[in-house]
Structure formats: C-alpha cells, structure tokens
Structure 1
Amino acid sequence: MPVTNPWLAGLAPKKRLDPERLEERILNLLSSQNMCVLATAGPEGPLATPVRYFHLDFTLIFTAAASSPKMRNLAADPRVSVGLFAPLVGQASSRGAQVFGRARVLSDNDPGFAHYWPAIRWQSDHVERSRSLDEPPSGPVVVVEAERIVYTEHWLRREGFAPRQFWTRSKG
C-alpha cells in the first residue's frame, strides 16, 4: 500500500531546533491564526473559552467584556493556558502551541495599555456592526506574556527534528 508521508512512521526524532528557528516557527503560527482557546480557573472550576487574539511578539492580546466569566476567573487566578492551532488536514499538517503565562487586565488608563492597544484591530468589528470608526471601543485589554510555549509541528519530523519543541522566555 502506498504511504503519503513515510517519514511519519516509526519513532519520532528527539532533535531540538535552535532557539532562533523555533521562535521563527512560533511567530509564524501566531501570525497566521487569530483564534485560540483560553483556559482559566475560578471558583466554579475550569473554563475553556474560544477567543480571537492578536499578538506582539510572544505576547497574546484580546478584549473581553469586564463582566464575563473568563474575566471573573482571571481576577481570581491570573494563570492561564492558551491553546492555538492551524487547521488540521492530517497528521503531517498538525501544528499548534500551548502557551502558558499570567494574564494582566489593562484599562485605558493603566501603564502599558497604549503599547498594546494598537495591536487590537477593532475597526472591522465596528464596520460589521455599523458603528462609527470615530468611536473606538472602551473596555479592558487582556495581555498574556508567554512564559513558556510547547510548540508542536509534525512536519519537523521530515527534517529529523522532534515534532514537539519547548520554548521558555529568557530571563532578562
């Protein structure tokens, strides 16, 4: 029987990518997707919520209604896990990341808000809802600076690299 991707057979390689190449692949994934699943924990237990994200380097950014369950959970415990992935066609196309960090909720008068706000592309939402582009939305911005990332890409096996790679933010 013909096999489409024979390099997927057998044990996965264990070789690690160099840090620069791994960062490039992670940034490519972050830039080519816009949806993720945010996992939080709160008084009523875990909550996994699909959210649209934006990013600046290895920092994920999203907006949310201040009264939402995810925002209540973040107030109780800022530790989060974020899962994001590219569309899956088959094992060879498997590509995604688990991002771990702490969420910070910033309002428009908080230091740092002005740095992250330009990454939010709110204009298309306003057009879709027939709202004026002269009135930007208000509300909090949630910022998750990645502390570590588990990156998975099975195509790496073709080049002899492990399909699961690990990134950790440098101290400094």
Structure 2
Amino acid sequence: MPVTNPWLAGPAPTERLDRDRLSERILNLLSSQNMCVLATTGPAGPLATPVRYFHLDFTLMFTAAAGSPKLRNIAGDPRVSVGVFAPLVGQASSRGAQIFGEARVLLPGDDDFATYWPAVRWQSDHVERSRSLDDPPQGPLVVIPAGRIVYTEHWLRRDGYAPRQVWKPA
C-alpha cells in the first residue's frame, strides 16, 4: 500500500534542534496564529478558555474583562498553561506549543504595562464595535512570560529530529 509520508512510520527520532532553530520555529508558530487555549485552575476546578493572544518574543498577552472567571482563577493561582496550535490537516502537519508560565495582570500605570500594551492590536475590535479609536480600552492586560515551552512539530521527523522539543528561557 502506498504511504504518503513514510518518514512518519517507525520510532520517532530523538535528535534535538539547537536553541536558535527551535526558537525560530516557536516564534514562527506564535506569529502565524492568533488564538490559543488558556488553562487555569480555580475553586470550581480547571477552566480552558479560547483567547485571542498577542506576543512579544516568548511572552504571550491578552486582554480580559475585569472579574472574568479566568482573571479570578489567575488571582488565586497564577500558574497557567497555554496551548497554541496550527490547523491540523494530517499527522505531518501537526504543529503546536504548550506554554507554561505565571500570569501577571497589568493595568495602565503598572510597571511593564507600557512595555507590552503597544503589541496589543485593540483597534480592530474598536472599529468592529463602532467605538472611537481615541478611547483605547483601559481593561486588564494579562502577560505570560514563557517559563517552559513544549513544542511539537511532526515535520521535524523528516529531517531526523524529535517531533517534541523543549524550550526554556536562557
């Protein structure tokens, strides 16, 4: 029987990408997607929430409504996991990242707010909702610096690399 991707058969390679190549692949994924699933834990148990994100290098960020369940959970336990993935067509196209870190909730005037806020593209939301571009949102900004990233890309097998790679900050 013909096999579309014979390099997917058999045991997966174990070779590691060098840090620069792995970093480039992760940043490509983060730059080519804009939705993630944020996992938090709270008194009612786990919560997985689809969220539109932005990023600066290996720090993800998103806006949230004050008092939302995800913000309540982060206030109780800032440890989060974020899943970012590309559309799946088949095993060969499997590409995604699990990002682990501690979330920080920033408000205008907080340290670092001005560092991250310019990367948030709020203008399109305002236009869609017929809001003035002269009145930017003032709501919370959640910032998640990556403490560890587990990156999966099955296409790496084709070049003899393990499909699952682990990135940590330097």
Offset, 1:2: 1.1
Match of 1:28 in 2: 28
Structure 1 stretches of 5 or more lacking a match?
none
CA distance in 2, matches of 1:112, 1:135: 21
Structure 2 equivalent of residue 112 of structure 1: 112
In structure 1, distance between residues paired with 2:166 and 2:132? 43
3-state SS of paired residue (1:24): helix
Q: Which amino acid is 2:40 matched to?
A: T
Cα deviation for residue 67 of structure 1 reads: 1.0
Letter of the 1:75 counterpart: A
Consecutive unaligned residues of structure 2, counting only runs of 5 or more, are none
Deviations 1:82-114 (A, max 9, x none): 001000000000000000000000000101000
Does residue 1:79 correspond to 2:79, yes or no?
A: yes
1:65 corresponds to which letter in structure 2?
A
- TM-score (norm. length: structure 2): 0.99
Give the Cα separation in 1 of the matches to 2:111 and 2:150. 29
- Three-state SS of the structure 2 residue aligned to 1:75 is helix
The structural deviation recorded for 1:43 is: 1.3
Letter in 2 for 1:133: L
Where 1:46 maps in the other structure, the secondary structure is: strand
Tell me how far 1:7 sits from its aligned partner.
0.4
When the two structures are aligned, how many residues end up with a matched partner? Answer: 170
Give the drift of 1:44. Answer: 1.3
1:106 and 1:135 mapped to 2: Cα distance? 18
Which aligned segments of 4 or more residues in structure 1 are displaced greater than 6 angstroms?
A: none
Residue aligning to 1:102: 102
Distance in structure 2 (CA, Å) of the matches to 1:8 and 1:97: 20
